[in-house]
């Protein structure tokens, strides 16, 4: 671990490659987790000093997805927190948004999720939710980074895999039920999905224990695929990043729609009744126009990231809905929503946040879109067919280091030429991935061939830049 970074957090917590027994060369080994526990304790101390915590001792709620490295990480983190006088509650397998909801409801003063979200099984991570149930601000992350980097390595902490007994999770079922009660209460009607047939793909992840119950309690007839928690196969050829098997099952079942979650349940991708994939942009457009029609879209604005399609933007603007663009990341979206008093925001990837939530929630998103389908009496394919999409070409280039892109003259010359050629009818987005050692090139415009040509030219400039090929400092990938 390097003591150089000003922020050890990525776009969504801290992530590392982890062996099944929890071994990691990054922060997620026992010694690193012990230092992270220092940051958690200091955060709780600041919250107590500010009058935001009354419980004594302060409580931390830990939830996780089923990755095989999760229990070892949980054991080590629990021991480190308890040594510092912090009470630890164990929620077992819980979707990330459930931890947020439960902390906001007062079940704990800090929420921790052990998960690497949509990443493959060999990764794991630690996400944090502050006393209000929201993700930490960048400023708070930097304060925690200072606390953690200043914390010495405790020589009493075994640097190898944790051999502590697995913590029991007797509250697991009760906490899941409380989460679902609060989630479903937001829909008002007792059975908002009555008469719908829905297929759910749980990605063998954290939604597996509770997604079926949520949709059945809402009145739907439910079929579940990839519904057994499996830490060795989580997200592999299933879930929101691989919706193909869901599409086939929706068509085979004659279902009204399908919902695919990622490994920790904070995002969802939908499939319409004809098997077409419905991404976050289309879901946001459908949801926003429904809210506006019912007078429930404050300011007639929503928050989206720079990745959202310009065709969707034009469609919404023509219908009286403006967009606030943010950097990539659902935290950025949530902060824009808070600042602007907005009721809806999200990402093309399926992270969608509504006004009564602190973070993206795939189950909530699926319920809301299904409810719109039922109430409108129109199939999902018809609702999405009205939304134009400009062609996009997205290319990923493997990198060994991540220097600021603006200091790469060869890359910037090609980007400048592309912007000039596309001026007035297209746009370019060049950024590093928050989840992998990749630079991502997005070219969007009316002409798909022109997009692809410029995307490949920019990608070639990245591939031949020597600064990107060097190993550099460790980046702590993947991160979001």
Q: Are 183 and 101 in contact (CB under 8 A)?
A: yes
Per DSSP, what are the bridge partners of residue 429?
Answer: 442
CA angle 277, 282, 287 (to 5 degrees): 125
Place of tokens 């998103």: 365
Q: Where are the beta strands (DSSP E) in 212-292?
A: 221-225, 257-261, 268-272, 277-278
What is the C-alpha separation between 53 and 459, in angstroms, rounded?
50
Q: What tokens appear for 148 in the block?
A: 């953690």
Q: Are 362 and 349 in contact (CB under 8 A)?
A: no
What would the DSSP string read from start to end of 210-222? THHHHHHHTT-EE
Q: What tokens appear for 121 in the block?
A: 């099984």
Q: Which conformational region is residue 14 in: left (phi greater than 0), alpha (psi within -120 to 50 degrees), or beta? A: beta
Long-range residue pairs from 380-383, CB within 8 A, at least 24 positions apart, any chain: 380/256, 380/257, 380/270, 380/272, 380/273, 380/278, 381/272, 381/273, 381/274, 381/276, 383/286
What is the C-alpha separation between 201 and 189, in angstroms, rounded?
25
What is the C-alpha separation between 285 and 375, in angstroms, rounded?
16
Q: Any idea which residues carry the catalytic annotation? A: 117
Place of tokens 């967009």: 323
Q: What tokens appear for 325 in the block?
A: 């663009």
Q: Are 408 and 468 in contact (CB under 8 A)?
A: yes
């Amino acid at each position: 671990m390097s003591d150089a970074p000003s922020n050890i957090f990525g776009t969504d917590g801290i992530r590392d490659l982890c062996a099944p027994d929890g071994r990691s060369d990054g922060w997620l080994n026992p010694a690193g987790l012990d230092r992270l526990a220092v940051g958690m304790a200091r955060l709780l101390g600041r919250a107590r000093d500010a009058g935001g915590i009354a419980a004594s001792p302060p409580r931390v709620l830990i939830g996780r997805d089923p990755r095989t490295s999760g229990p070892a990480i949980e054991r080590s983190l629990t021991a480190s927190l308890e040594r510092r006088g912090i009470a630890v509650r164990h929620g077992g397998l819980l979707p990330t948004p459930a931890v947020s909801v439960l902390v906001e409801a007062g079940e704990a003063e800090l929420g921790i999720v052990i998960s690497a979200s949509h990443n493959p099984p060999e990764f794991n991570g630690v996400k944090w939710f502050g006393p209000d149930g929201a993700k930490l601000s960048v400023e708070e992350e930097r304060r925690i980074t200072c606390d953690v980097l200043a914390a010495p390595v405790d020589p009493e902490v075994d640097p190898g895999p944790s051999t502590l007994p697995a913590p029991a999770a007797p509250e697991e079922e009760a906490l899941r039920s409380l989460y679902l009660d609060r989630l479903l209460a937001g829909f008002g009607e007792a059975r908002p999905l009555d008469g719908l047939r829905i297929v759910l793909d749980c990605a063998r992840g954290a939604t597996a224990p509770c997604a079926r119950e949520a949709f059945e309690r809402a009145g739907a007839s439910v079929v579940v695929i990839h519904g057994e928690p499996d830490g060795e196969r989580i997200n592999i050829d299933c879930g929101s990043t691989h919706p193909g098997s869901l599409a086939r099952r929706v068509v085979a079942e004659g279902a009204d729609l399908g919902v695919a979650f990622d490994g920790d349940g904070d995002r969802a991708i939908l499939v319409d009744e004809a098997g077409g994939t419905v991404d976050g942009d289309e879901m946001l457009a459908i949801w926003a126009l429904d809210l506006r029609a019912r007078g429930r879209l404050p300011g007639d604005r929503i928050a989206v990231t720079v990745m959202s399609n310009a065709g969707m933007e034009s469609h919404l603007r023509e219908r009286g809905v403006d967009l606030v663009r943010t950097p990539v990341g659902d935290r950025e979206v949530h902060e824009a929503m808070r600042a602007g008093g907005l009721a809806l925001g999200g990402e093309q990837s399926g992270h969608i946040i509504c006004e009564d939530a602190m973070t993206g929630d795939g189950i909530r998103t699926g319920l809301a879109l299904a409810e719109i389908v039922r109430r409108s009496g129109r199939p999902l394919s018809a609702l999405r067919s009205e939304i134009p999409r400009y062609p996009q070409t997205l290319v990923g280039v493997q990198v060994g280091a991540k220097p600021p892109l603006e200091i790469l003259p060869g890359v910037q010359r090609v980007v400048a030429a592309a912007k000039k050629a596309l001026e007035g009818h297209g746009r370019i987005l060049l950024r590093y991935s928050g989840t992998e050692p990749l630079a991502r090139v997005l070219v969007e415009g009316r002409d798909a061939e022109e997009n692809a040509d410029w995307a490949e030219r920019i990608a070639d400039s990245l591939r031949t830049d020597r600064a990107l090929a060097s190993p550099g400092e460790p980046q702590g990938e993947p991160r979001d």
